[in-house]
Structure 1
Amino acid sequence: MEQQRVPVLFVDVDGVISLFGFPAHSPPPGRFQLVEGIAHFLSATAGEHLRRLERCFEPVWCTGWEEKAGEYLPAALKLADSYPHLTFERNPGRANAHWKLDAIERHAGARPLAWIDDAHDRECADWARERGERGMPTLLVSTVPAVGLTERHVTALTSWAASLSAR
């Protein structure tokens, strides 16, 4: 796949890698990790899933953690490298839109992109559809915060990336 066509993969942390909302008496596979004194429950499979996705995407942290994701997660998830991270405006200018969209657009430009998050809303779906209509393939992958990134998500993402190279 040509470098310009390698899709960007925007990865949220909370609800994707750091799980929450599961019953305390039956947590999913994973472990607690302290990040600046706050315990986060990291999915046992997130690192493996991200390593597989690195083969066909350019991953970028897309989280309110900003630079903290790169400081704490590569070692915790056994990733070879850190990913770049987005920095978000504290007062996003886009009325009634998801607070991450401006930063995602700035980073991706016209490149194809996939975005994994647990908080996609209607504005995100409209934005992704409009972007696709303008010839910029866009895939939203929504997770359940108590489960996070799954094998099913990885399969969908890798299939989508492969379909881009076939174009």
Structure 2
Amino acid sequence: MSKRPLVLLDVDGVLNPARRRGLRSRRHECVLDGRVYQVYLDRRHGRALAALARESGAELAWATTWEEHANLWIGPRVGLPPLPVIKVTDDPGSRAGEHFKTRHVAEYVAGRPFVWFDDSLGVPDWQYLLDHPGVGEFLLVDVDPMTGLTGAHLARAREWLAGRGAGDLDDAGAAAP
């Protein structure tokens, strides 16, 4: 089993912000289950995420309700190859206030250190992951859904991955929210 760190990616609010960020963001139409969605994507995100993975030895993976659709509609438009997908949509909901994706992420990481870029995570998610027996070191990067992923988010992840969060970790190895 690989011990390479993971970088987990959400789409909406992270790669697809709620409002267009500058001229480099391009509007795309995606058709999912007969519905047309408009997304605003910036190719620089793909290059930046690929560089983060390459420099840190991390593996990128989707942690989004887009699931496999992210490999069809999002990845190619930002310049990412097909990535592993964490299945998250078959879930009844929260048990302790955590986001419905959090339990699936906890199972998927299987002890590997990870950074998770998402716009819907908070203290209940951090606590759930901290208490889950199969979760090791992690960093939750809260992304403002209005602006999406920024260089500051990537820098924080890069720094954490370089030192596995040394100095920012509590006793259990999790970066505080």
Pairwise TM-score range, normalised by the shorter structure: 0.7 to 0.9
TM-score (norm 1): 0.83
Residue 8 (structure 1) aligned with residue 6 (structure 2): yes
Residues in 1 aligned to 2:109 and 2:73: alpha-carbon distance in whole angstroms: 24
Contact 1:19 1:43 (C-alpha < 8 Å) held by counterparts: no
Superposition pairs of residues 31-110 of structure 1, within 5 angstroms: 31-36=26-31, 37-55=36-54, 56=56, 57-79=58-80, 81-88=81-88, 89-92=90-93, 94-110=95-111
Residues 1:90 and 1:159: Cα distance change in structure 2 (over 3 Å): same
Residues 1:21 and 1:75: Cα distance change in structure 2 (over 3 Å): closer
Residues in 1 aligned to 2:112 and 2:47: alpha-carbon distance in whole angstroms: 25
Q: Which runs of 5+ in 1 are unaligned?
A: none
Residues in 2 aligned to 1:49 and 1:21: alpha-carbon distance in whole angstroms: 20
Which sits farther off after the overlay, 122-131 or 109-118? 122-131
Secondary structure of 2:26's match? strand
Contact 1:7 1:113 (C-alpha < 8 Å) held by counterparts: yes
Contact 1:49 1:150 (C-alpha < 8 Å) held by counterparts: no
Shift of 1:74: 2.2
TM-score (norm 2): 0.78
Secondary structure of 2:154's match? helix
Shift of 1:97: 2.0
**Alignment match, 2:144:** 144
**Alignment match, 1:126:** 127
Higher relative contact order (CA 8 A, sep 6+): 1
Residues in 1 aligned to 2:103 and 2:145: alpha-carbon distance in whole angstroms: 23
Contact 1:128 1:140 (C-alpha < 8 Å) held by counterparts: no
Which sits farther off after the overlay, 111-120 or 38-47? 38-47
CA shift digits 1:16-72 (9 cap, x unpaired): 1011146xxxx4340101110211111353122211122122111011111100111
Q: Which runs of 5+ in 2 are unaligned?
A: 167-177
Secondary structure of 1:74's match? helix
Residues in 2 aligned to 1:94 and 1:128: alpha-carbon distance in whole angstroms: 13
